[in-house]
Amino acid sequence: MDNIVRIFDTTLRDGEQSPGASMNVDEKMTIARQLARLGVDIIEAGFAFSSPGDFEAVRRIAHEVEGPTICSLARAKTEDIDSAWQALKGAPKPRIHTFISTSDIHLKYQFKLSREEALKRAVDMVTHAKGYVDDVEFSPMDASRTEQEYLWEVLEAVIAAGATTVNIPDTVGYALPRSFGELIKGIVDNVPNIGGAIISVHCHNDLGLAVANSLAAIENGARQVECTVNGIGERAGNASVEEIVMILKTRRDLLGLDTNVNTEQIYPSSRLLSGITGMTVQANKAIVGDNAFAHESGIHQDGLLKEKSTYEIMTPESVGLSKSTLVLGKHSGRHAFKERLSELGFDLDDEELNKAFVRFKSLADKKKEVFDEDIEAIVQEEVMRTDYDEKFKLVNVNVKCGTSVPPEAEVGIELDGTLVTETFNGDGPVDAVFKAVCSITGTKSKLLRYSVNAITEGTDALGEVTVRLQEGERIVLGQGSHTDIILASAKAYINALNRLEFKMKESRGELI
Reduce the secondary structure of 69-87 to three states and give it as a string.
EEEEEEECCHHHHHHHHHH
In this prediction, residue 142 has a pLDDT band, given cuts at 50, 70 and 90, of very high
Asked whether residue 366 carries a pLDDT value surpassing 90, the answer given is no
pLDDT of the residue at 300: 54
pLDDT of the residue at 386: 47
How many residues belong to the chain?
Answer: 512
Tell me how far apart the alpha carbons of residues 108 and 115 are, in angstroms, rounded to a whole number. Answer: 9
Q: Could you report the per-residue pLDDT of 407-455, keeping only the tens digit for each?
A: 999 999 998 889 999 999 999 999 999 999 999 999 989 998 888 876 5
What is residue 110's DSSP assignment? Answer: I
pLDDT of the residue at 49: 95
Which carries the bigger pLDDT value, residue 293 or residue 391?
Answer: 391
In this prediction, residue 292 has a pLDDT band, given cuts at 50, 70 and 90, of low
In this prediction, residue 332 has a pLDDT band, given cuts at 50, 70 and 90, of low
Which carries the bigger pLDDT value, residue 149 or residue 386?
Answer: 149
Which carries the bigger pLDDT value, residue 303 or residue 216?
Answer: 216
pLDDT of the residue at 369: 61
Asked whether residue 90 carries a pLDDT value surpassing 90, the answer given is yes
pLDDT of the residue at 289: 75
38 and 32 Cβ atoms separated by less than 8 Å:
no
Asked whether residue 107 carries a pLDDT value surpassing 70, the answer given is yes
Highest mean pLDDT, choosing among 12-21, 130-139, 501-510: 130-139
Which carries the bigger pLDDT value, residue 322 or residue 47?
Answer: 47
In this prediction, residue 512 has a pLDDT band, given cuts at 50, 70 and 90, of very low
Q: Could you report the per-residue pLDDT of 221-262, keeping only the tens digit for each?
A: 999 999 999 999 989 999 999 999 989 999 999 999 999 999
Which carries the bigger pLDDT value, residue 473 or residue 467?
Answer: 467
3-state secondary structure 163-221: CCEEEEEECCCCCCHHHHHHHHHHHHHHCCCHHHCEEEEEEECCCCCHHHHHHHHHHCC
Per-residue burial over 255-282, b if 16 or more Cβ lie within 10 Å, else e, is bebebebebebbbbbbbbbbebbebebe
Asked whether residue 79 carries a pLDDT value surpassing 80, the answer given is yes
Which carries the bigger pLDDT value, residue 469 or residue 135?
Answer: 135
Query: What percentage of the chain has pLDDT greater than the value 70?
Result: 82
Amino acid identity at 498: N
Distance of CA 362 to the CA centre of its chain: 32
The closest of 167, 188, 180, 155 to 73, measured between CA atoms, is 167
Mean pLDDT of 3-16: 93
Of 59-63, 343-347, 428-432, the one with minimum mean pLDDT is: 343-347
pLDDT of the residue at 306: 67
C-alpha distances in Å from residue 148, one per residue of 62, 70, 140, 181, 219: 35, 31, 12, 13, 19
Which carries the bigger pLDDT value, residue 150 or residue 405?
Answer: 150
Of 6-20, 62-76, 446-460, the one with minimum mean pLDDT is: 446-460
Mean pLDDT of 253-278: 90
pLDDT of the residue at 345: 60
- Please state, rounded to an integer, the average pLDDT across all residues of the chain: 86
Which carries the bigger pLDDT value, residue 387 or residue 437?
Answer: 437
pLDDT of the residue at 276: 82
pLDDT of the residue at 287: 82
Distance of CA 16 to the CA centre of its chain: 16
What is residue 390's DSSP assignment? Answer: -
Asked whether residue 338 carries a pLDDT value surpassing 60, the answer given is yes
Q: Which domains does the chain have, with CATH numbers?
A: 6-277 (3.20.20.70), 294-382 (no CATH), 392-507 (3.30.160.270)
Asked whether residue 323 carries a pLDDT value surpassing 70, the answer given is no
pLDDT of the residue at 395: 94
In this prediction, residue 278 has a pLDDT band, given cuts at 50, 70 and 90, of confident
Of 53-62, 257-266, 371-380, the one with minimum mean pLDDT is: 371-380
Tell me how far apart the alpha carbons of residues 76 and 90 are, in angstroms, rounded to a whole number. Answer: 22
pLDDT of the residue at 498: 87
In this prediction, residue 40 has a pLDDT band, given cuts at 50, 70 and 90, of very high
Mean pLDDT of 326-340: 63
Amino acid identity at 343: E
